Structure 1
Amino acid sequence: MMRCLLLFLLLTKAGFAQPDQVFKSSIRSVRLFQQNNQGGLPIISLNSVEQLELHFDDMDAQVRNYAYTFQLCNADWSPAMLSTFDYISGFTQQRILQFRPSSIAVSKYVHYQTMLPERNCMPNKSGNYLLKVFMDGDPNKPAFTCRMMVVDSRISIAAQVLQPFQPEVFRTHQRIQLALNTGNMNIMSPQQQLSVYVLQNRNWSNMRVVKPLFQRGNVLEFNTEQDLVFPGMKEYRWADLRSYRFVSDRMESAKRTADGFDVVLKPDLPRPALRYAFYADRNGWSDIASSESLNPWWQTDYAQVEFRYAAEQLTKGRTLHILSDFSGTTPTPANRLMYDSASGMYATKLPLKQGYYWYQYGVYDGKQVDFTPSEGNFWETENDYTIFVYFRSFTGRHDELLAVQSINSRFGRR
């Protein structure tokens, strides 16, 4: 418990550099999304009836007393300098009362879920929020944290995906053309008061931050040729794990164990030399699902899933990571693949619940992730981009979220 508290305090001091964190080792499959939409970003409108669904499992298989609260954050996820009573209407903590033990599953766990925000614990300001879940009503016993956003739509966004002008990235990258219309807002200094964050495929580690460059009346324009050029990558790899009894196209074997299953996937290969081929994917966003049960949340099993990547060993100082929503989009020891000289492959095992998973491999050099050696980059790739617009008044003490818009590279480009 002291280790969890220390990690939580370090995270707070560091300004929530990694907001999505699990502190309790028995917590699995944390999901926070728009109601009835597993693929929806955790965003709601200010003063609306919109809600988010929170789901998670505790592998201790004993009922625990979990509660949650909200922490208002700035655009960079550092804590806002405001009292909890300034941005939460009602109680500052709320218990999670809905839970159910797993059934018709080999794996034993307790599934918890709730709809939030509730009427008696409601955020009343727009911006970034950190959802903190803790045990026994004590914030010093953190279980996990994850991010959510509350938007007050007061600015309109016009955006599309274009090919860059630079010849060296013309066929491999994508550029976001962007303009804002501030409407009736009186923004004295857009360069100081506005910040625009652009997210590719919900990969928070690859987010770009830009400031307005030109202003024409109420319209703000940006230098997108320099600041908003993203590698195109390739369509995501997939693993159909909706059943552990029937072997799907990407599974090599599946064996039942005393507390779940062991699944080995077929080896993945480097793809830079392969020509681009389009197929529908979820851009790194996975679904908890089952082809054998009625309710995937508490009637599905867990497995130790082995991912393998057949390639030559990387040079010293470079590591290979599997990146997705289920493993994290930032390189960590938990999503690193280790090289086995006997088999000539990289490998790692991850505990996964039944579902449909999308992922990619990235090479990390200690500073940034490069998908070029493992996946390749193509302009034609279908990608999702989400644009967040933040504003801070000269007398304000936090960054307000005034616009959010998502665009797709196949349906919003020229």
Structure 2
Amino acid sequence: MKINSWLVLHIFLFSFLGFSQVEETNPPDYIKTINFKGNTPETQLPILRLGEHLILEFDALNGLEEDYYYKIDHYNYDWTPSVLLKSEYLTGFDNQRIRDYENSYNTYQIYSHYKLSIPNQFTKEIKLSGNYILSIFNSYNELIFSRKFMVYEEQSGVGVSIKRSRSIEHLDEKQRVDIVINPNGSAFNNPMQTVKVMIVQNNNLNTAILGLKPLYTIGKQLIYKYDTETSFWGGNEFLYFENKDVRGANTGVQRIDLKDVYHNYLFTNIPRYNRPYTYNPDINGNYVITNIDAENPSIEADYVWIHFSLVADDNYRNKNIHVYGNFNNYVIEDNTQLIYDESRDIFSTSLLLKQGFYNYKYVVVNSNNTIDHGAVSGNFYQTENNYKVIVYYRDLGARYDKIIGVGEGSSVNISN
């Protein structure tokens, strides 16, 4: 039987495209301060209980008051597209215009602030648990940006404990996550194949560990007591600054200046990889928008040019340094790169950020695009990090991956 090679090629390409992992789309320069949250005040990776509200907020700085539309898509545990129809996981409709927006008030930088709440009068309910992506389009149906979120149902208990590494080589640098999953009802069917686990450190999906299988079982319980497979670099506490009063030097701000908008010059940071660990409370890379003189910071907080600077060091003097944090969803971009100033022997860059309290740190991006989180800040097992464990389950014959439980732990309680 003669096979049409053209047909085989197109089937292969369709299969590859249809099942490739989907990544988030980063916004253009004029879209800023994307707050994506559930029932918590700070912006972070939304992990919602089925039936809870989801809120997306963002600012458009181009002054055009454009229309934006949203779509919601369901995905498998590994972020490949699921086979579900939209009517199976949504009650109502998406592809609707975001109607809730306001223009900035009493700010040097003009912007329009958009807010989307789900459920709403059009999208009434997300019916199924699992992975989702919320995509924002303009009126020309061009994708502006997208963000991932998860919805779970409580069908199992998830115990999370943080331990020091068992490896002598990384005893003082890494943290490992031990997990115990206990179903609320009957035991899982064939858990080695049907249960998958993802571990997220500090709400950063870029460093998440995905697809873990149980090491062994005890009765109905699934036990995960790996070493290297569930280990993360400890990192260091995040640096931070606060500029809720734009006219005065606040925490972390050395001096201010007013040009077209305000400029805040932060104190020059020093490398910490070669210094002892020092406890410094942070919010694990997140940020909170706030303004001391405003009733509604969403539209009254101004945009400020934040000037970062870092003392050069032989450990990274000739390397690619970036400022890193959840202020831009942990994305490495051209404007996050620090430029070396030979005359002052420092690295520096500036970012336009909305007033608030921000966590950040400096990382090295290697030639193969991997990120070295400890080259500047160091790695310490004592560092306080937040860990979330998301448990996926696809029963035999099922068509999608449920999220059946979420556990959370902090390394503030780390043990040997």
What is aligned with 2:42? 38
Q: Do structure 1's residue 124 and structure 2's residue 121 form an aligned pair?
A: no
Q: Is the 8 A contact 1:200 1:384 kept in 2?
A: yes
Which runs of 5 or more residues in structure 1 are unaligned?
Answer: 1-11
Aligned-pair distance for 1:372? 2.4
What is aligned with 1:384? 386
What is aligned with 2:198? 197
Q: Do structure 1's residue 105 and structure 2's residue 107 form an aligned pair?
A: yes
Q: Is the 8 A contact 1:173 1:230 kept in 2?
A: yes
Residues 15-414 of structure 1: matches in 2 within 5 Å?
15=20, 17-19=22-24, 21-22=26-27, 24-35=28-39, 37-39=41-43, 41-46=45-50, 48=51, 50-118=52-120, 120-121=122-123, 122-136=125-139, 140-209=141-210, 210-258=212-260, 260-312=261-313, 318-365=319-366, 366-411=368-413, 413=415
Letter in 2 for 1:71: D
Take 1:129 and 1:343, find their aligned partners in 2: how far apart are those partners? Answer: 47
Aligned-pair distance for 1:166? 2.0
1:186-243 deviation line (CA, Å, top 9, x unaligned): 5332222111111111121111122112122211112422211212111110011222
Take 2:174 and 2:373, find their aligned partners in 1: how far apart are those partners? Answer: 12
Q: Is the 8 A contact 2:164 2:414 kept in 1?
A: no
Take 2:203 and 2:347, find their aligned partners in 1: how far apart are those partners? Answer: 25
Take 1:129 and 1:71, find their aligned partners in 2: how far apart are those partners? Answer: 6
1:319-369 deviation line (CA, Å, top 9, x unaligned): 212111013424333422222222211122211000110011111212432
Aligned-pair distance for 1:19? 1.6
Take 2:309 and 2:22, find their aligned partners in 1: how far apart are those partners? Answer: 30
Larger gyration radius, structure 1 or structure 2: 2
SS in structure 1 of the partner of residue 349 of structure 2:
strand
Aligned-pair distance for 1:151? 0.5
What is aligned with 2:7? none
Q: Which moved more, 1:164-173 or 1:308-317?
A: 308-317
What is the RMSD computed on CA atoms of the aligned residues?
2.2
Letter in 2 for 1:371: H
Letter in 2 for 1:357: Y
TM-score (norm 2): 0.89
Q: Is the 8 A contact 2:244 2:357 kept in 1?
A: yes
Take 2:371 and 2:40, find their aligned partners in 1: how far apart are those partners? Answer: 33
SS in structure 1 of the partner of residue 56 of structure 2:
strand
Which runs of 5 or more residues in structure 2 are unaligned?
Answer: 1-16
Cα gap change, 1:412/1:403 in structure 2, threshold over 3 Å: closer, same or farther? farther
Aligned-pair distance for 1:78? 2.1
Q: Which moved more, 1:285-294 or 1:403-412?
A: 403-412
Letter in 2 for 1:112: Y
Q: Identity rate of aligned residues, in percent?
A: 25
Q: Is the 8 A contact 1:84 1:92 kept in 2?
A: no
Take 1:110 and 1:170, find their aligned partners in 2: how far apart are those partners? Answer: 49
